[in-house]
Structure 1
Amino acid sequence: MPYADLHVHTTRSDGTLEFEDVPDAARRAGVSVVALTDHDRLQPLSDPVVERDGVTIVHGIELRVEPPEGDRVDLLGYGVTPTAALERTVEDVQRNRKERGRTIVDCVEDRLGIDLEVDVEPGFGRPHVARAIADHPESGYDYQDAFDQLIGFGEPCYVPQEVPSFERGRRVLSEACTVVSLAHPLRYRDPARALELTSDLDAVERHYAYDRDVDCEPIERAIDRNGLLVTGGSDAHDDRLGLAGLSEAAYRRLEL
């Protein structure tokens, strides 16, 4: 069981775990440290790292960015001390998230002839829409069907998200965070191109709960080439923490 799970989402973005329930979920999983990395959202924490009911909580964030070439990637910031620049960036992204969310919801409701009964609030994303669709059995779609046939890339109700450039995202995170890491590099269509970006970052997410067997050798080469720190986490969107993460020694090396 990992000592630290550094990739966890709550209801502040597209997770189902309540912020207040994080310590209980961590203890059940045998995890001592949890980084809250909600999409494009800052946490209601007074310091970059705090203690809650015997569990260490790291203020983190996951920010999607647009590189000059290739697919969009996700950056993980750890040990956040919010700056004005980061707050502005988050506000810009959240404004677009809400506009995008309303457009997707309207499209789905018109197409299926149902009322999804969802509130489009900060942190809203497509998983909220998919869950709402699945909650209506009369729609004929389950959660995965919603993505595969309605709201996934290229599907009739898909709406692209506006995201900051890689350079802007990297800069604002570097100014506000102790460590900036490339998230789940082997999930991208071109992992090699994504890993090239780590030359401008502090770390890479070496340990991750992929849903398939993966070859981590490209990550190891990037770590050696760029002198990277290692991060890791489960990318939990529910209360099942600790599916991937770091040992205590690896966590201590981050010096959060």
Structure 2
Amino acid sequence: MTSFLNADLHCHSTVSDGTLEPETVAARAAGNGVQLWALTDHDEVGGQHRAMATATRLGMDYLTGVEISVTFANETVHIVGLGFDPDDARLIAGLAATRGGRGERAQEMAAQLAAAGIKGAYEGALRYVGNPELISRTHFARYLVEIGACRDTSEVFRRYLTEGKPGFVAHRWARLGDALRWIQDAGGVAVIAHPGRYRFTANEEYALFSEFKQHGGMGVEVVTGSHTSAEYTTYAKMAQEFGLAASRGSDFHSPEESHTDLGALPPLPGGLTPIWELLQERVHRAGVTH
């Protein structure tokens, strides 16, 4: 495998906050030329066997995936796990505990939106939820677009669902060390997702990378749908500085909402170790029966 492999190792389905079923996401990835794929739903591995079976049937190699929400320096950070056993009991239990606070948080968000004049947001958001345990801001955003409160989901987040706006409710997620332990104990490798999205100072970002490395983290997303070309360069340098492998993923959620489609990203910058080179033995090969 080379860094020019069309690998897409970050995307979502209806099992979390995507709008397409795992099988449909797999078909879209295959149709867009993805050669190595991972479905990485938020805090949930319930779609892994479906995704894997469809991917290998369609001729794609597959890595198991998940995106775990953690709290670090009072910011929500996402850690992608790749190449783990999706049936690992400790991983499943840890993810269930992480999901546990979402329902209560959603009710608080709905109450704040009601106070701002938007009624019925909880029930409206539920209509967009594939898995009620994973109700999220994205589902509320889709409802607010539906009722005409905002033009698109980006506007919803700007006006209602970010810190300091009506409708934002903070939630404490897993600890960084816990998330990495769940992934590693299940045989997987941990990756910092889209680091350019976090509102960290330079010192806080350095602390995140340092602690991540200390806990055994092995990769960072360098090329991802929310990074600019300048951030590709920034995080390529961070990968080299911390001795991390580089990952690539669209963070695709929906044909209507996502800026970057599956398989459409540029290659990783040169001089990096692609994360899939560390995961050769954990790839489920197309056409191979497991």
Task: Choose between structure 1 and 2 for higher RCO, CA contacts under 8 A separated by at least 6 residues.
Answer: 1
Residue 227 of structure 1, CA deviation: 2.9
Amino acid at match of 1:102: Q
User: Over residues 95-154 of structure 1, what are the superposed CA-to-partner deviations in whole Å (9 max), with x where a residue is unaligned?
Assistant: 2112212221233245334334232612211011011010002x3564223211222111
User: Over residues 30-73 of structure 1, what are the superposed CA-to-partner deviations in whole Å (9 max), with x where a residue is unaligned?
Assistant: 11222111111113334996523223332211112123x46332
2:78 is the alignment partner of 1:74: yes
Amino acid at match of 1:35: A
Identity %: 26
Q: 1:118 aligns with which of 100, 125, 132?
A: 125
Higher strand share: 1
Aligned position for 1:36 = 39
| Segment of structure 1 superposing worse, 45-54 or 195-204 | 45-54
The number of equivalent residue pairs is: 253
3-state SS of the aligned residue for 2:97?
Answer: helix
Write the distance in 1 (CA, Å) between the matches of 2:26 and 2:76. 32
Once the two structures are superposed, the pairs formed by residues 180-219 of structure 1 within 5 Å of their partners are 180-190=190-200, 191-200=205-214, 201-210=217-226, 212-219=228-235
Check the 8 A contact 1:97/1:122 in 2, yes or no: yes
Once the two structures are superposed, the pairs formed by residues 214-233 of structure 1 within 5 Å of their partners are 214-233=230-249
Check the 8 A contact 1:48/1:79 in 2, yes or no: no
Residue 28 of structure 1, CA deviation: 2.4
Q: 2:60 aligns with which of 52, 55, 58?
A: 55
3-state SS of the aligned residue for 2:163?
Answer: coil
**Which residues of structure 2 form unaligned runs of 5+?**
256-260, 283-290
Aligned position for 2:287 = none
2:179 is the alignment partner of 1:169: yes
**TM-score, normalized by length of structure 2?**
0.77
Amino acid at match of 1:74: H
3-state SS of the aligned residue for 1:155?
Answer: coil
User: Over residues 161-220 of structure 1, what are the superposed CA-to-partner deviations in whole Å (9 max), with x where a residue is unaligned?
Assistant: 120111111111111142111111222223434333342311111221235342445433
Aligned position for 1:133 = 144
Aligned position for 1:11 = 14
2:279 is the alignment partner of 1:254: yes
Check the 8 A contact 1:34/1:58 in 2, yes or no: yes
3-state SS of the aligned residue for 2:116?
Answer: helix
Check the 8 A contact 2:23/2:51 in 1, yes or no: no
**TM-score, normalized by length of structure 1?**
0.86
Aligned position for 2:157 = 147
| Segment of structure 1 superposing worse, 88-97 or 40-49 | 40-49
Write the distance in 2 (CA, Å) between the matches of 1:244 and 1:47. 25
Write the distance in 1 (CA, Å) between the matches of 2:57 and 2:112. 41
Q: Aligned-pair RMSD on alpha carbons?
A: 2.7
Structure 1 residues 20, 66: closer, same or farther in 2, change over 3 A? same
